[in-house]
Amino acid sequence: MTIGEKITKLRVAAHISQEQLAEKLNVSRQSVSKWEADQALPQIDKVLQLCELFSVSADSLLKDSITINCSEPGDEYHFRYFGTDGFRGEANVTLTSMHAYKVGRFLGWYFASDLCKTTRPNHRPRIVIGKDTRRSSYMLEYAIAAGLTASGADAYMLHVTTTPSVSFVTRQDEFDCGVMITASHNPFMDNGIKIINRFGEKLDNKTTEYIERYIDGDLKSLGVSGSDLPLACGEKLGCIVDYVSGRNRYLGYLISLASNSYKKLRIGLDCANGASWMIAKSVFDALGAQTVVIGAEPDGLNVNDGCGSTHIENLCRLVREEHLDLGFAFDGDADRCIAVDENGNIVDGDKIMYILGRRLKDKGMLNGNTVVATIMSNSGLKESLSKIGIKCAETTVGDRYVYECMQQNDYSLGGEQSGHIIIKKYATTGDGILTAIMLTEEVCDRKSSLGKLADPVKLYPQHLENLRVKDKAAVLNDEAVKAKIKEVEALINGKGRVLLRQSGTESVIRIMIEAEDSEKSVEYAKMVAEAVKERGHCVG
């Protein structure tokens, strides 16, 4: 076991995040990441501090293997509410206003408590909140703000804005955390709560577990006596601050990243009737583009409804009919971007990663000469990157896992086929508008079209089937389903692949097939889907 692996195991067993360990040792979080990735060794004084902190000897840390007792409460904890992308569910059914209030109550209390390792003495927590355009977002926004202020924290309201803007403002203006109310690409009746730490990243698992324990009434594990968290009174009550200025600074930041004028470009934008409906047009107009916009008439019920990155056919048609140079479609909270070239052809996340990977490599900015993708990315991406001397690291599905891999290895670029693209120099999360700007910059710098930039990527025909099921784990463990997958793999005969995975945010099983041609990919996906249905796993 390497020193880095030992530090990771000790930290996880102690329920300490990388940023919390960094605080304790008075080093940067990047230093801890490099230690754990075995890219650097801690200095001897830090080794001694680690030994004292985790009650181990220097010899065992530097030479021998370590046996770690992981029997503390929480090691076997299974999340009930929070998934890979926050707390998500149908508004006022599985995600209620009371849930939101309790999230606010906990966060307002936590960042002033001893339980939070980064709390300063007499600290009054500051938390920034954004929301998308869903009707239920207003209800959840004010419920969270009520909980925060009742616990003595100040709530700063960005109002309708994008997830990456909340991440930017949280990090830039040194808030304790950020909250984004959104269900991303889901329909309007769903909503969600994403919590962002002070570094602009997704909240660590241990703090998320504390939130769930409070929601379920487990105050003992929080070290709290009584029936509830203490309420703030008098001058200790929190206040609500209109913070639209933070959103405006984010717009200014995006505009500052462009070095070209877009005056000669006609650009289509599909804002999904979501959070980007004002921001995206404002940014591209400021950069000089002639914009044609659809999906920018939100009414609270039409977010993602036949528009946005999940219905890219509308933007394809717009680009062709209006003879536009290129187009960009975003999802409900604008952390995704799918592009369309001058001929109305889709440029998905895989092709975007290729284009931006080559751009960063040519500029000497692609750390490790590696792009981070997920197992859902097309095999053609890896082959195309390899031809231009770029390696491809793979993670499980979820932008948080992509970002963790980037952090641990100091990689510059990563993302998902769905359009979550993370460019670490500029952001700590996927940012659809930022991605659109960087693609437009590449079009301008190379004096090329988006279609020509994407052309070297030869993707395998791929088909995805989504099945709503009763029990995701039961599907994955079903022997009959496994047998059908082996049968399909034999038919593919090494010229493609089968991937069966569960959604992190919905009761959905995803079946992805790559094959030599599109007809076979559809046929094989249907075979696996039928096996799942025949076993009685599907809902309805």
List the catalytic residues.
Answer: 184
Find all residues with CB under 8 Å of 407, minimum gap 6, and list them: 18, 30, 33
Task: Report CA-CA distances (Å) from 14 to 82, 116, 126, 320, 382.
Answer: 21, 14, 27, 56, 37
How far, in Å, CA of 233 to CA of 216, rounded?
25
Q: Using the 8-state DSSP alphabet, how is residue 95 labeled?
A: B
SS3 345: coil
Phi-psi region of 484 (alpha: psi -120 to 50; beta: other; left: phi over 0): alpha
Burial class (CB in 10 A: 0-12, 13-18, 19+), 261: exposed
Dihedral sign for Cα 220, 225, 231, 234, please: negative
Q: Which two tokens stand for residue 155?
A: 């709530």
How far, in Å, CA of 90 to CA of 99, rounded?
12
Which single residue is written with the structure tokens 């710098």?
A: 445
Angle between helical axes of 163-172 and 432-446 (0-180°, round to 10) = 90
Burial class (CB in 10 A: 0-12, 13-18, 19+), 122: exposed
Q: Using the 8-state DSSP alphabet, how is residue 524 labeled?
A: H
* Residue type present at position 289: A
* Residue type present at position 121: P
* CB-based contact 194:400 (threshold 8 Å): no
From the list 319, 296, 320, 299, the residue with the least C-alpha distance to 307 is 296
